[in-house]
Each structure stands twice: as structure tokens, then as C-alpha cells.
Amino acid sequence: MLTEHKECSLLFSFFTQERNHTIVTDFLLLGFQSSKYLRIFLFCLFLLIYCGTVCGNLLIIMLVSINKNLQTPMYFFISQLSVSDILLTTNIVPKMLQIILHTGGTITFIGCITQLYIFCASVVFECLLLTVMSYDRYVAICNPLHYATIMTRTCCMKLAIIPWCCSFSATLIEAVTTAMLTFCGPNVIDHFFCDMNALLDIACSDTSIVHLEITLLGTPLVIIPTIIIIISYAKIIAAILRIPSNSGRQKAFSTCSSHLTVVSIFYLTLFSIYVFPTQKQTMNISKLLSLLYTVFTPFINPIIYSLRNNNISEAVNKIIHLKSINL
């Protein structure tokens, strides 16, 4: 009887552990493991950057909506990029600040999948939107006489809505499939947000379906826009070189230099992490690269467009001048 009792206890304990291991209700995000003073510095730095990101992008959205000189296709797409940047950084930074402050933090399973979904959708949307913006610059420089008839208000609305719909619908499939994976422990994610690679590394079930979906859906959504951008800028550069005067070439290049800078920063970091990751790339390097496009790029984008764009600078100066007169 004693032996049977022990066997029943061990069997019950086994099934209890199996049940507990297959149901992960939350994940532990490690974030940046460092000294107290470094964490305080990082917290203050990222908080300032987050506030600057939200304020800078909201300023661009406001300027485009109220200033008639900025109500053109190019600035409309810039405002859409600002919306995406606010969504991306708000999805990650507030939770990251909590993690830094407490040397790690938990996130619920649903919260983790939601964060992953919004992150992937934002990244895919930016890929598609940067492609649309490159096409806009191509039409403006290579076909200026027909620019107004091609880039109509209706066309711009369609070119903005399609990337939003494609990004959130395509990444929904990956998010749902990832949520159906079995996570039986450990539930520790050595990152500051729920990244796809980090989640797949701790999954207990077969992840081949998710990897197949990433290949079938992610590759066209990244490679095809990249090819379109390269072709567009090759034709843009060829058209600029055919302009006889130096001032004409400088003026034409200045209209697309800001976009080209943003594209370069975004794609270099994206390709270095997800498309061509090096074997020697440690988790710390991966975190630093992830910071570039999740924290710093949304902060830098409005600065690049403001500093390299006279129309936005003039609109900001006009508002400052009006405020000073009213005071």
C-alpha cells in the first residue's frame, strides 16, 4: 500500500509539473543588466528620448494638418511615418523604462504577443511606407510635369491605407501562430521587449511553421520594397545627374536627401539583425542594434526632416513668432 501511495504521489506530481510547465502566464524580460547608476542614467536618457520622440512627431503631424504649404503628398507621407514612429516607440519604451528601473520585469503572455504584433506591424508598415515615399520622390524628380495628376489626394490616401492594412493583416498571422506555440519554461527573455527571435528561442514546441511563415510573408514584405527603393533612387540619381546646373542638382537632391537618410538608417539596422545576422553577434549587440530602430530612429526622423527641410523649419518659426507676438 505504501509503495502504491508513493507511485500515485509521483504520478500526480509529474502531471502537475507537466501542466504547470505547459502553461506560461507571463515572461520575465531581463532588459539591461547593469549597475544601479548606469540604470538610472539609461532610464533618464530613454525617458528624455521618448518624450522628444512623441513631441517631435506630434509637432510634424500638427504642422502638416494646419499649414497649407505642407499639405502636399510628401508631407502627408511624412506625417504617416510620424504616426508609425509614435506607435512603435510607445509600444516598447514605457515597458522598457519599467524594466530598467526594476532590473527586469514581467509581462503577461497576452501582453507579450500584443507587443510583438504591434512591433512587427510597425516595422512592416515603415518598410512599405518608405517604399511609397521613394516612389513619390521618383515621380516628383523624374516626371515633374505629371506629378500633380499622378499623386492626387485619392492616390495618396490609397498609398497610405494599403500599407496600414497589409502590415497589420500580414503580421496578424505570425502573431497568432506564435501565440499557439507551447512555452513550458524557462520563461526568461534576455531582451528589453518581446522580439520574435527571443520568443522562438524559448518555445518548447516545433517552430518550423513560424519560420516558414516568416520566410513566405516577411521576405516579400522586406526584399521587394528594398528592390523598389533601389530602382527608384537609381533612376532619381540618373535624372539628377542630367540636370545641367549645379544649383538645380542640389535643389533636386535636397528634396530626397532626408528620405534617403531615414531609409539608410532603418534598413541597415533591420538587415543587420534579421536578414544577415553575424555569427559573432552577441545578445548585447543585438539589443544595441534593436535600440537603433525602436528608440533612436523614431527620435531622429523628425529631426532629420526638420533640419533638412526649409518648409518645416519655416512653419515652426512661424508658430514660434506668432506665439511670441501673442505673449
User: What DSSP string runs through 221-253?
Assistant: HHHHHHHHHHHHHHHHHHHHHT-SSHHHHHHHH
Distances (CA, A) of 10 to 22, 184, 300, 311: 18, 20, 58, 74
Structural domains in the chain plus CATH codes: 25-326 (1.20.1070.10)
Q: Over its length of 327 residues, how does the chain's per-residue pLDDT go in tens digits? A: 434 443 344 333 333 344 444 567 888 998 887 788 888 999 999 999 999 999 999 989 998 888 888 888 988 999 999 999 999 999 999 999 999 988 888 999 999 999 999 999 999 999 999 999 999 999 998 888 899 999 999 999 999 999 999 999 989 988 999 988 888 877 888 888 998 888 888 888 888 888 888 888 877 888 889 899 999 999 998 988 888 888 778 877 777 778 888 888 888 877 777 666 655 556 677 788 888 888 998 998 888 877 666 777 777 777 766 666 665
Distance CA 89, CA 122 (A): 10
Distance CA 29, CA 96 (A): 9
User: 112-135 burial, b if ≥16 CB within 10 A, otherwise e?
Assistant: bbbbbbbbbbbbbbbbbbbbbbbb
Distance CA 28, CA 99 (A): 9
